[in-house]
């Protein structure tokens, strides 16, 4: 990836944000759109986690990362603090890699 491409992508993202402000202005969005927009960041983070957990390049790979993410998901479900969730996921991944 070149610096020109990175700058172009950054400028495009910024332009989309500015266009949104100009087009919408001070008008309020419908409640349905507001609810959908609040869910987008969580969906993007989940998609990135799944992609990075289960793929290497273009191949699907099930390895220690999947076990670590599963352990972190269980820890988050049990309401462990964020630092604990991260440590549990990393520790389980390291343990599975050491065993296998």
pTM over 0.75? The answer is no
pLDDT score at 100: 85
Looking at residue 30, its pLDDT comes to 86
What pLDDT does 25 receive? 76
Question: Mean pLDDT, to the nearest integer, of 25-35?
Answer: 84
Domain boundaries, the chain: 30-99
**What is residue 58's predicted lDDT score, i.e. its pLDDT?**
85
Phi/psi at 66 (nearest 5 deg)?
-65, -40
Q: Does pLDDT of 61 surpass 80?
A: yes
Q: Lowest-pLDDT range, 21-35, 69-83, 84-98?
A: 21-35
For all residues of the chain together, what is the average pLDDT? 91
Q: Cβ(64)–Cβ(97) under 8 Å?
A: yes
């Amino acid at each position: 990836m070149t610096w020109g491409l990175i700058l172009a992508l950054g400028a495009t993202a910024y332009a989309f944000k500015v266009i949104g402000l100009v087009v919408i202005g001070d008008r309020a969005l419908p409640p349905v759109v507001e609810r959908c927009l609040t869910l987008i960041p969580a969906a993007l983070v989940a998609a990135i986690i799944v992609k990075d957990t289960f793929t290497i390049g273009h191949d699907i790979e099930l390895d220690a990362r999947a076990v670590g993410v599963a352990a972190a998901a269980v820890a988050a479900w049990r309401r462990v603090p964020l630092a604990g969730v991260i440590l549990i996921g990393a520790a389980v991944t390291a343990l599975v890699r050491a065993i296998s």
